[in-house]
């Protein structure tokens, strides 16, 4: 059976994920690959509704476990109804964020037990993991400066600086734990230089 590749891109706010996904999709399409671009939380009709609940400031306070479970509920829908069917058709799927974000934001940021997140990962995904994860790394300060121009912050973006430092640290820890899959990209340099690093990993894939 034909099987496409699953690429995810992650990192702290303002790391340049959206910018680099444009590059990744163009690059793959030039190679004749059929690409499905998607995002988390979201990516499906139901997932986008869950995203509104998760990120909407009007949602107000939410227990950290509820936040984690909603992330995985949206993810289950995403995998079952969008990602796996596309891969089975030989398409490549590029997702703006995936499970590493749950480890970083809910595990690091919210200080939830990483073992409990692993249990949910196994429940929802079994052995399913991305073929390649590009982790765009840069300091929290630079990332914040890049998104300062935006009008309003979402529910999670309103967290304090220490939250995002913990998020970044978990991302880095995971890139050291899974070096075969997670490639750390220096996202502090110019856009073209970030794309160049990503290009090298895409060629390897």
Task: Return residues touching ligand Z5A (CB under 6 A).
Answer: 13-19, 40-41, 55, 71, 96-97, 101-102, 105-106, 146-147, 156-157, 190-191, 194
Shortest Cβ 1–ligand Z5A spacing (Å): 28
Shortest Cβ 149–ligand Z5A spacing (Å): 7
The helix (H) or strand (E) run that includes residue 113 is none
What are the φ and ψ backbone dihedral angles of 182, each rounded to 5 degrees?
A: -100, 115
- Tokens found for residue 25: 């999709």
Shortest Cβ 159–ligand Z5A spacing (Å): 7
Kindly tell me which of 34 and 113 has the beta carbon lying closer to ligand Z5A: 113
Shortest Cβ 2–ligand Z5A spacing (Å): 27
Q: Running DSSP on this structure, what letter comes out for residue 58?
A: G
Shortest Cβ 94–ligand Z5A spacing (Å): 13
Mark out the alpha helices in 112-188 (DSSP H runs): 114-125, 140-147, 161-177
Listed in sequence order, the residues at least 6 apart from 2 whose beta carbon sits closer than 8 Å to its beta carbon are 88, 89, 90
Kindly tell me which of 38 and 106 has the beta carbon lying closer to ligand Z5A: 106
What are the φ and ψ backbone dihedral angles of 158, each rounded to 5 degrees?
A: -80, -5
- The answer to whether the CB of 124 falls within 8 A of the CB of 40 is no
Q: Running DSSP on this structure, what letter comes out for residue 99?
A: H
Q: In whole angstroms, how large is the CA radius of gyration of the chain?
A: 16
Shortest Cβ 105–ligand Z5A spacing (Å): 3
Kindly tell me which of 131 and 157 has the beta carbon lying closer to ligand Z5A: 157
Residue whose structure tokens are 């988390």? 40
- Tokens found for residue 169: 């640290």
- The answer to whether the CB of 163 falls within 8 A of the CB of 109 is yes
Kindly tell me which of 37 and 146 has the beta carbon lying closer to ligand Z5A: 146
Kindly tell me which of 57 and 147 has the beta carbon lying closer to ligand Z5A: 147
Kindly tell me which of 3 and 162 has the beta carbon lying closer to ligand Z5A: 162
């Amino acid at each position: 059976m034909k099987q496409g590749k699953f690429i995810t891109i992650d990192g702290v706010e303002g790391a340049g994920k959206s910018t680099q996904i444009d590059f990744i999709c163009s690059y793959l399409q030039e190679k004749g690959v059929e690409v499905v671009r998607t995002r988390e939380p979201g990516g499906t009709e139901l997932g986008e509704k869950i995203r509104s609940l998760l990120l909407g400031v009007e949602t107000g306070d939410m227990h950290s476990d509820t936040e984690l479970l909603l992330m995985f509920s949206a993810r289950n829908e995403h995998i079952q109804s969008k990602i796996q069917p596309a891969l089975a058709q030989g398409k490549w799927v590029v997702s703006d964020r995936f499970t590493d974000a749950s480890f970083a934001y809910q595990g690091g940021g919210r200080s939830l037990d990483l073992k409990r997140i692993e249990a949910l990962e196994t429940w929802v995904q079994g052995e399913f993991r991305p073929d390649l994860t590009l982790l765009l790394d840069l300091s929290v300060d630079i990332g914040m400066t890049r998104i300062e121009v935006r009008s309003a912050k979402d529910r999670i973006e309103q967290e304090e600086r220490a939250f995002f430092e913990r998020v970044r640290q978990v991302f880095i820890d995971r890139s050291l734990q899974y070096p075969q899959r997670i490639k750390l990209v220096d996202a502090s340099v110019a856009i073209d230089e970030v794309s160049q690093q990503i290009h090298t990993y895409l060629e390897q894939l």
